[in-house]
Amino acid sequence: MNGHFASVGDEPTKAQYEHGVQVIDEDKEFNSKINAYLRVTDVAESGFNYHLISVFGSQSTGKSTLLNHLFGTEFNVMSESERRQTTKGIWMSKNKKGSMADNILVMDVEGTDGRERGEDQDFERKSALFALATSEVLIVNIWEHQVGLYQGANMGLLKTVFEVNLQLFLKDKQSNPRSLLFFVIRDHIGNTPLSNLQNTLLQDLGKLWSSISKPPGLENSRIEDYFDFAFSALPHKILQPDKFVTEVDKLGRRFVAGSRSGKVLGQHGDQELDGGVFLPEYHRRIPADGFSVYAEGVWDQIVNNKDLDLPTQQELLAQFRCDEISRESLIAFDEVVTPLEDKQTEAVRIGKPFVLPGLGKTGSAAREKCLKSFEVSASRYHKAVFKRKHQELENKIDQRLKALYQAQVSAIHKSGVATFSEAVSSAVKAGQKSGGAYEFAEIVDAEKTKTLEFFKTEAQSLAIQGVPWTNFKSQYLLFEKELDEVSAKLRKEEMRRLATRVERWVKSRLGDAIGLEFNKLGSGRGGSGAPEEGEKPPTEKDLWDRIWSAFVEIVKEAESRFADRAKSFEASQDEVDVGLWRLRRKSWVALRERIEEEVMEGNILLKLRENFEDKFRYDEAGVPRIWRPTDDIEGIYTKARESTLGLIPLLSRFRLAATYGPPDLPDFIGHQPSGAEPEDEDDLTPIGGVDEEDGKSLEEEMTVLSESKRQDLVVRFKKMADGVYVEAKRSAIGGVAQ
Ligand code: GDP
Ligand code: MG
């Protein structure tokens, strides 16, 4: 159905169509410019508000003349001198007279008695069929003296009209279109009243009807099942020109809307048939903007001798026109939507989420406008086809909008997540700057609420009433879930920051506490200064007990600081447990490092030297000794040296006095909590006896000085002690010599 429907060509002008437009030319070709003509004459936009009239009759019976007078048309007429056929094929022109119905289209059909075309019954039949398929009113133009001549040429034409009409009705039973046969009797002299002429005609028509062969199923049909009749008589145009004009004017007034109830038409009507001729039931219900396509389709069927099937034609027309209207409606939609699609594509290309402002409003407006404009024109066509094409159009634009909206939701999602984590981070930073008095959980809650609101507002602005895919509730839930994930990540980072702070605190506390304990070694009596009343004087033997309990105390305090703070930002128990576990491990490692520092060669040697010197150079009361030759320098030296040397094995291992074994470090650190993730272990130093797979035992973990270091230390210490001894000895002798 596509190929032969030519589209509208160059925009025509009114002047081109002064004489109307030739619908079918003498070669039986359909003119592709019909629609252009309908547009130029403003009929195309009239929907159903237009009318079609055809004229029939023998050649040179003044048909074109009548139409020109009646409708102000300018169809060619035969000049008075040369009697030659002028109207070729079928012409069409719009009524130019006022005070008639809107948009009357008149078709002037080539004379049909075959005088000049030879016995061209074929064209006569075809044009009759074409006129019947399209026209509401068929004017039958007839001389008065032809009335009653049953065998006359007119009757041949009418016979054809009736036959093709029945042929049409075989296919088109449901729409059952009626037509008005309007007899205009020309050169009415007046001797025979119109009513008599009318009766004669009706009798002849009745006879004619019964004589034609009817298709099966329609044998008993009556002529008035299909036709209404109207009659009018006009005086001789040349002999009574004034009267002719008056009567034609009177006749013209009848081309208005009419109704069956009025004083109208029909077989037995009044002689004064002056009611409106356009009854709604005559209308073929082809929308004006589809007329040319329809007429062309109909003519194509007729000219190719195919069975003319009007319902099928109407369906094909509907498909063709609905597609066309759909394309037209899409133009405005494209204008709005394509730039948005381009913007989005560009945003995706550069990888930056871009939320199109006001997309919901623009999108739904474009959608509604497109569908509405389609409905206005297309709803006049075949209902089922219209519905189907409407659905197709809706699917098409919804597919585009859907892609647009989904990308928008994804942009909202991405930018929402980014805004959220930026906002939380910068609020935390601001809080840290202003002294750390910020509540992480509150910041997260506030920003989450804000971001969710943003998403909701944006997503809801896309909603279109009654269009389920514009509901983005599930995406909202996904978004919320992602915010929670981001919050969890940020909270984890916050936990790490907190952990770092607490670890730093632990290190500093350990630094002081352990330093203090080791400094006590420097005093040979196990402590500097006098012990306080009631307190058991610290001894070297319980060095590790004191270190351990100081450590435990510091870590406990750190743990409670950590846990309190972590709880304040709504960390889960699992997260807190992991944090505490990490804290204990890191604290232990820090302790080990601190001890390592203390026992570094130079440091520990210094401590041992102090310890030794304290024992060697001071008496029990803490008074410095002045060596005299009589003193048992060697005895005191040996005692002090052995005492200090005794410290070395004690220092070599972390052992508690009560058990003479290592502290229960695995128990202190505890099992790895089930909530810990691999990344939680990333930066953890393995601990002997705790991380079994590490292959290092607890005993090894507790070894402070290795065997070789120990021996080395003994040698160095002895050398140093020897030096002190020699010096003492020398000073004793020297003192005497003085
Ligand atoms: P058509 O072939 O039926 O369209 O006839 P035309 O309108 O071309 O007219 C054919 C001839 O009939 C012309 O010479 C007209 O002048 C003449 N004519 C027009 N109207 C009348 C009329 O009312 N009576 C008579 N007798 N001749 C007419
Ligand atoms: Mg003519």
What does the pLDDT look like over 629-642, one tens digit per residue?
888 889 999 999 99
pLDDT value of residue 259: 81
Q: Which residue has the higher pLDDT, 208 or 13?
A: 208
pLDDT value of residue 562: 93
Q: Which residue has the higher pLDDT, 184 or 10?
A: 184
pLDDT single digits (tens) 224-255? 888 999 999 999 999 999 999 999 999 999 99
Per cent of the chain over pLDDT 70 is 89
pLDDT single digits (tens) 277-333? 999 989 999 999 999 999 999 999 888 888 778 888 899 999 999 999 999 999 999
CA distance 62 to 56: 11
pLDDT value of residue 436: 66
Q: Which band of pLDDT confidence, cut at 50, 70 and 90, is reported for residue 12?
A: low
B/e letters for 527-539, b = 16+ CB within 10 Å, e = fewer, are: beeeeeeeeeebe
Q: Which band of pLDDT confidence, cut at 50, 70 and 90, is reported for residue 730?
A: confident
CA distance 393 to 319: 13
**Beta-carbon neighbour count of residue 120 at 10 Å?**
14
Closest-approaching ligand to the CA atom of 108: 2
pLDDT value of residue 89: 86
In degrees, rounded to 5, the angle at the alpha carbon of residue 147 between the alpha carbons of residues 146 and 152 is 50
pLDDT value of residue 272: 40
pLDDT value of residue 582: 93
Instruction: Among 261-270, 445-454, 617-626, 660-669, name the one with the lowest average pLDDT.
Output: 261-270
63 lines ligand 1 (CB under 6 A): yes
Give the tokens for residue 45: 């936009």
pLDDT single digits (tens) 379-393? 999 999 999 999 999
Architecture of domain 14-308: 3-Layer(aba) Sandwich (3.40)
pLDDT at residue 717 is higher than 60: yes
* Structural contact between residues 527 and 538, judged by C-beta atoms closer than 8 angstroms: yes
CA distance 107 to 20: 9
CA distance 389 to 371: 11
Q: Name the nearest CA neighbour of 178 among 239, 131, 143, 225.
A: 225
Rounded alpha-carbon distances, angstroms, from residue 648 to 593, 663, 703: 19, 19, 12
pLDDT value of residue 526: 42
Q: Which band of pLDDT confidence, cut at 50, 70 and 90, is reported for residue 677?
A: confident
Ligand 2 center to residue 8 CA distance, Å? Answer: 28
Q: Name the nearest CA neighbour of 185 among 238, 241, 146, 240.
A: 146
* Structural contact between residues 594 and 510, judged by C-beta atoms closer than 8 angstroms: yes
Q: Which band of pLDDT confidence, cut at 50, 70 and 90, is reported for residue 529?
A: very low
* Structural contact between residues 25 and 88, judged by C-beta atoms closer than 8 angstroms: yes
Instruction: Among 30-39, 75-84, 193-202, 571-580, name the one with the lowest average pLDDT.
Output: 75-84
pLDDT value of residue 738: 44
Per cent of the chain over pLDDT 90 is 56
Q: Which band of pLDDT confidence, cut at 50, 70 and 90, is reported for residue 396?
A: very high
Q: Whose CA is nearest to atom 28 of ligand 1?
A: 62
User: How many CA atoms lie within 13 Å of 36's alpha carbon, on the beta-carbon side?
Assistant: 20
Q: Which band of pLDDT confidence, cut at 50, 70 and 90, is reported for residue 84?
A: low
pLDDT value of residue 175: 65
60 lines ligand 1 (CB under 6 A): yes
CA distance 506 to 514: 12
Positions at the binding site for GTP: 57-64
pLDDT value of residue 151: 62
Q: Which band of pLDDT confidence, cut at 50, 70 and 90, is reported for residue 122?
A: confident
Q: Which band of pLDDT confidence, cut at 50, 70 and 90, is reported for residue 3?
A: very low
8 lines ligand 1 (CB under 6 A): no
pLDDT value of residue 531: 41
* Structural contact between residues 728 and 627, judged by C-beta atoms closer than 8 angstroms: yes
Give the tokens for residue 549: 């309990």
Ligand 1 center to residue 59 CA distance, Å? Answer: 9
pLDDT single digits (tens) 278-290? 999 899 999 999 9
238 lines ligand 1 (CB under 6 A): yes
Residues surrounding ion ligand 2 at CB below 5 Å? 63-64, 87
Report the pLDDT averaged over residues 648-668.
91
pLDDT at residue 117 is higher than 50: no
Closest-approaching ligand to the CA atom of 184: 1
* Structural contact between residues 550 and 676, judged by C-beta atoms closer than 8 angstroms: no
Instruction: Among 121-135, 139-153, 198-212, 464-478, name the one with the lowest average pLDDT.
Output: 139-153
Q: Which band of pLDDT confidence, cut at 50, 70 and 90, is reported for residue 527?
A: very low
pLDDT single digits (tens) 349-359? 998 889 999 99
pLDDT single digits (tens) 533-572? 444 455 677 889 999 999 999 999 999 999 988 887 778 8
Q: Which band of pLDDT confidence, cut at 50, 70 and 90, is reported for residue 688?
A: confident
The number of the ligand 1 atom at minimal distance from the alpha carbon of 141 is: 3
112 lines ligand 1 (CB under 6 A): no
237 lines ligand 1 (CB under 6 A): yes
Q: Which residue has the higher pLDDT, 260 or 129?
A: 129
Ligand 2 center to residue 56 CA distance, Å? Answer: 10
pLDDT value of residue 111: 65
Report the pLDDT averaged over residues 471-492.
93
Q: Whose CA is nearest to atom 10 of ligand 1?
A: 60
Domain boundaries, the chain: 14-308, 326-471, 599-663+702-738
pLDDT value of residue 426: 92
pLDDT at residue 109 is higher than 80: yes
Report the pLDDT averaged over residues 574-588.
93
pLDDT at residue 1 is higher than 60: no
pLDDT at residue 723 is higher than 80: yes
Which of 54, 61, 112 maximizes ligand 1 atoms within 8 Å of its Cβ, making it the mutation to test the pocket? Answer: 61
ipTM above 0.95, yes or no: yes
pLDDT at residue 656 is higher than 60: yes
pLDDT at residue 460 is higher than 60: yes
Q: Whose CA is nearest to atom 2 of ligand 1?
A: 60
Rounded alpha-carbon distances, angstroms, from residue 546 to 550, 650, 700: 6, 13, 21
pLDDT at residue 370 is higher than 90: yes
pLDDT value of residue 386: 97
Residue 98 φ/ψ region, left for φ over 0, alpha for ψ in the -120 to 50 degree band, beta for the rest: beta
Which of 60, 113, 187 maximizes ligand 1 atoms within 8 Å of its Cβ, making it the mutation to test the pocket? Answer: 60
Report the pLDDT averaged over residues 465-494.
92
Q: Whose CA is nearest to atom 26 of ligand 1?
A: 236
Output the average pLDDT for the chain: 86
DSSP state letter for 572:
-
pLDDT value of residue 176: 66
Task: For tokens 């001797």, name the residue.
Answer: 191
CA distance 349 to 354: 11
Ligand 2 center to residue 58 CA distance, Å? Answer: 9
Ligand 2 center to residue 190 CA distance, Å? Answer: 25
Q: Which band of pLDDT confidence, cut at 50, 70 and 90, is reported for residue 362?
A: very high
* Structural contact between residues 101 and 17, judged by C-beta atoms closer than 8 angstroms: no
